[in-house]
Amino acid sequence: MENLNSYLIVSALLFTIGTIGVLTRKNVIVMFMCIELMLNAVNLTFVAFSRHLGNLDGQVFVFFIMTVAAAEAAVGLALIIAFFNNKESIDVDDINLMKW
């Protein structure tokens, strides 16, 4: 088993890459995938701490996070399809109906 800090550093880097992806990309599906990347970085932190502390609660939380991610993927992709049917585009700049 490796040192705890190395897992946490990898997790931090993955989370940051996901953040940069959400901020820079304009394709909604790619932004969605970056959010999944951030969720997975958090999952890695949970499992690393769970192993380090000898407590399984963190892994049960990872289980729930995966459930929420699956629900999010289903609803989010349905929203993207509904938006594409209306505007023929998945660019975030075109999602401006409620902009003031």
Partner 1 sequence: METLFFLIISLVALIAAILVVTCKNPINSALALIMTFFCLATYYVMLDAPFMAAVQVMVYAGAIMVLMVFTIMLLNIRVDATKKHSHKLIVASIIGFFTVINLIVVIVKSRAALPTGPFSGDMIKKIGHTELVGREIFTNFLLPFEVTSILLLVAIIGAVILAKKKI
Binding site for partner 1 (CB under 8 A): 1-2, 4-10, 12-21, 23-27, 29-30, 32-34, 36-37, 40, 43-44, 47-57, 59-60, 62-64, 66-75, 77-82, 84-85, 90
Q: How far apart are CA 17 and CA 64, in angstroms?
A: 23
Residue closer to partner 1 by CB (options 69, 95) is 69
Between residues 2 and 99, which has the closer beta carbon with respect to partner 1? 2
Of 62, 19, 66, 14, which Cα lies nearest the Cα of 41?
Answer: 14
CB of 97 to partner 1, least distance (A): 16
CA distances (Å), 97 to each of 23, 25, 83, 84, 90, in order? Answer: 20, 20, 11, 14, 14
- How many residues are there in the chain? 100
Output the smallest distance, CB 10 to partner 1, in A: 5
